[in-house]
Every structure is written in C-alpha cells, then in structure tokens.
C-alpha cells in the first residue's frame, strides 16, 4: 500500500552553491510531503541563520510514519562535510560528501525508505578535481540502480525527452542506432504510463536532420533508422507521430495533442522548453526503478548565501515528485 504522505529525500548538492539555501527556504514554507534532507545539519543551520530564517532541524526516524512538513522544520539524515564550507567557495575536499548524499538518498529510495528523491545542483568540475570520476547525477544513479536512464525535462505545458544527451554534435549521428532509439522510446512510453498515469501516451518524435532529411536529400538517418524503428514500435501498440522536422514540431497545434516530444539531441529540444519555462522546469530521470526529479539550473555560486536565487524550479521538482509518487502508487499495488 502507498503512504498517504509522500516521503521525499532532498539532496542540497554542492555545499558552496545555492542548493542549501533553496532547501532551507523550501522547508520554511512547509510542504504536503515529508521532506527529508540528506545533508550536513550544521551546513543547513548555518545557511538558515545567514538568510535570517528560523529553522528547526530534527533527526529523521524512518520508523515514524511520514507526515507533512510543518513550516520551519526539516528532518535530516546527517552526512558530515569533510571541511567547513563557505558560500561561493568551492572545495574539492567536500566532493566525497556530495556523492555520499546522492548514494544515501538513492539507496533509501531503492529500499523503500523514501518514495522519491529530489536533487539540487552539483558542481561536476570540483568533483572531478577531487579525483572522483563524475559525469552527472544521471550517470551515478544509473550505475547505482543498474539501469539505463532517459533524460526528460518538463514544464506544465511540455515534456521533452532526449535520445542522446551530452554528446558533441559530431558523435550524434552514429549514436542514434535502432537499438538505442528503441530502448529510449520504450522507456519513455513505459514511464509516462507508470509514473505519470497517462494510459496511452502519444509521443511526437523529431527527425535528426533539417526538414527530417528531406526524403534523403539532407541525410538518410530518418529513412534508415528512425522511420523503421517507429514503424516496428507502432505494431507493438505505441502511439508515435513522426519523424517530424524539429523546426515545426514545437508549434502549439501539434503539441496540444501530444504527451511528450522526443528530441534526437540536447540542443534540439531543450532550448524550446527552457524558453517556455526556465526557472520552473523539472529534470526527470526516466528508466530508473526509483523516482528522481531535479532543478533545471546550476549551482549559481555568486548567489550562494543570499536570498536572491529563484526557488521556483525546486518547488516544481518537489511537486512533480509528489504527483509522480501518487501516479506510481496504483502500479506498485497492482504488482
């Protein structure tokens, strides 16, 4: 049975960035979910004091049934910083702390302690400077869960998933294979059903080349890879539209009939979504056995320790996690 109140693990990300500020500010507003920060309690108290916020830190007890977060309170799973942290000053000594918070939150989702995890931004460079190979949240969670994830960003008006993520343009064509495209589309369709409660998702698929290849005159990837994959998946019951030219795929009359858009590469789809809703978009990792949402922005070191960072994306990430937990509950109960 699902819990009446979702229990969400929050990871504040890079301790020198705005993540701790956002977490304590969110806690001071309260939430219908039980928010549990996986972090150094002293860091959170210090940031709250710096922001002039009254925050009560409570030890997290997994044996106590979850209840909504009261304004000004925050439950914490303590993870100690290696070195004192100062807003805006990166320190590679704390890189292990950052990855440990992610691992503990992920493991808590896997064992059922948490219903979902919500992540604030990390700083990839300083983690790698510490000698810890790190390409991002998604890759760490994929390895921890033994899964192959799909990246999707969402605002209320639009969901955009990516066939490829952080690749140079020169490598994208050879990366889009029938095997990859089949896996990504199946994952997108599956998670829209099981984590978003959409009974029969309709997915618009972008072409790779200008004008979707112009019948082969501007590239043959549509003819040789994308169209055959879509045709095969349609025989399996998936509702797929495309491949369509990306420059006309995002017009309102087409999007109004779609549940998600699949872009072939990072900068094909995300500029449209971020133009539509930057600061309130949510990064969702599909294809994991857990629910994970995240903000759509970086660490903003220059804003750390101030109240000037926009809280909108973290609020949206928490609310989407709450909605996904509710949508996923019937699927869990039915297994």
DSSP letter at 93? G
Assess contact for 266 and 273: CB atoms under 8 A. no
Name the pLDDT band for 335 (thresholds 50, 70, 90): very low
* Cα–Cα distance, 217 to 113 (Å, whole number): 54
**pLDDT tens, residue by residue, 185-234:** 999 999 999 999 999 999 999 999 999 999 999 999 999 999 999 999 99
3-state secondary structure of 12: coil
DSSP β-bridge partners for residue 116: 8
**pLDDT tens, residue by residue, 18-32:** 999 999 999 999 999
Name the pLDDT band for 277 (thresholds 50, 70, 90): confident
**Domain residue ranges of the chain, discontinuous segments joined by +:** 1-146, 148-287
Name the pLDDT band for 85 (thresholds 50, 70, 90): very high
Looking at domain 1-146, its CATH class is: alpha beta
Residue 279 has pLDDT above 80, yes or no: no
Assess contact for 131 and 93: CB atoms under 8 A. no
Find out whether 266 is annotated in a ligand binding site. Answer: yes
Find out whether 331 is annotated in a ligand binding site. Answer: no
Max intra-chain CA distance, the chain: 64
Torsion sign across C-alpha atoms 257, 262, 264, 267:
positive
Strand pairing category for 239-244 and 202-206:
parallel
Find out whether 166 is annotated in a ligand binding site. Answer: yes
Its pTM stands at: 0.92
Residue 31 has a pLDDT of 94
**pLDDT tens, residue by residue, 294-308:** 998 899 999 999 999
* Cα–Cα distance, 303 to 309 (Å, whole number): 6
- Whose CA is closest to 107, among 145, 133, 139, 62? 145
Average pLDDT, whole number, for the chain?
94
Residue 331 has a pLDDT of 63
Residue 332 has a pLDDT of 60
Assess contact for 240 and 279: CB atoms under 8 A. no
On the 0-12 / 13-18 / 19+ scale of CB atoms within 10 A, 181 is: buried
Find out whether 164 is annotated in a ligand binding site. Answer: no
Residue 1 has a pLDDT of 38
Residue 329 has pLDDT above 80, yes or no: no
**pLDDT tens, residue by residue, 241-250:** 999 999 999 9
Find out whether 274 is annotated in a ligand binding site. Answer: yes
Do the domains spanning 1-146 and 148-287 agree at the CATH topology level? yes
Cα torsion for 153, 154, 155, 156, to the nearest 10°?
A: 170
DSSP β-bridge partners for residue 57: 74
Residue 284 has pLDDT above 50, yes or no: yes
Residue 78 has a pLDDT of 98
Residue with more model confidence, 279 or 322: 322
Chain centre to alpha carbon of residue 128: 21
Find out whether 211 is annotated in a ligand binding site. Answer: yes
Can you read off the two tokens belonging to residue 42? 């002293």
Strand pairing category for 150-155 and 158-162:
antiparallel
Residue 333 has a pLDDT of 46
Find out whether 292 is annotated in a ligand binding site. Answer: yes
Residue 2 has a pLDDT of 56
Residues 319, 263, 284: CA angle, nearest 5 degrees: 20
Q: Does the domain formed by 148-287 have CATH 3.40.718.10? A: yes
Can you read off the two tokens belonging to residue 111? 């064992």
CB atoms within 10 A of CB 199: 6
Residue 334 has pLDDT above 70, yes or no: no
């Amino acid at each position: 049975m699902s819990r009446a109140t979702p229990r969400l693990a929050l990871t504040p990300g890079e301790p020198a960035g705005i993540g701790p500020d956002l977490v304590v500010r969110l806690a001071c507003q309260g939430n219908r979910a039980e928010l549990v920060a996986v972090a150094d309690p002293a860091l959170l108290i210090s940031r709250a004091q710096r922001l002039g916020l009254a925050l009560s830190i409570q030890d997290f007890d997994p044996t106590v049934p979850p209840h909504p977060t009261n304004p000004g309170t925050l439950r914490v799973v303590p993870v100690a910083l290696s070195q004192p942290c100062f807003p805006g000053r990166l320190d590679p000594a704390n890189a292990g702390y950052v990855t440990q918070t992610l691992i503990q939150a992920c493991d808590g989702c896997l064992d059922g302690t948490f219903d979902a995890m919500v992540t604030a931004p990390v700083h990839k460079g300083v983690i790698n400077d510490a000698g810890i190979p790190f390409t991002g949240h998604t890759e760490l969670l994929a390895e921890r869960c033994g899964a192959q994830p799909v990246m999707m960003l969402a605002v209320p008006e639009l969901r955009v998933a990516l066939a490829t993520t952080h690749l140079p343009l020169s490598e994208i064509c050879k990366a889009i294979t029938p095997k990859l495209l089949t896996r990504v589309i199946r994952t997108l369709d599956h998670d829209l059903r099981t984590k978003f409660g959409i009974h029969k998702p309709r997915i618009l698929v972008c072409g790779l080349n200008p004008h979707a290849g112009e019948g082969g005159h501007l590239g043959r990837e549509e003819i040789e890879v994308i169209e055959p994959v879509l045709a095969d998946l349609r025989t399996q019951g998936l509702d797929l539209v495309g491949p369509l030219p990306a420059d006309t795929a995002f017009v309102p009359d087409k999007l109004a009939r779609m549940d998600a858009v699949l872009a072939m590469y990072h900068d094909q789809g995300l500029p449209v979504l971020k133009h539509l809703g930057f600061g309130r978009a949510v990064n969702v990792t599909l294809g994991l056995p857990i629910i994970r949402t995240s903000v759509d922005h970086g660490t903003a070191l220059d804003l750390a320790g101030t109240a000037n960072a926009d809280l909108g994306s973290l609020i949206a990430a928490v609310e989407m996690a709450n909605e996904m937990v509710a949508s996923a509950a019937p699927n869990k109960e039915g297994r």
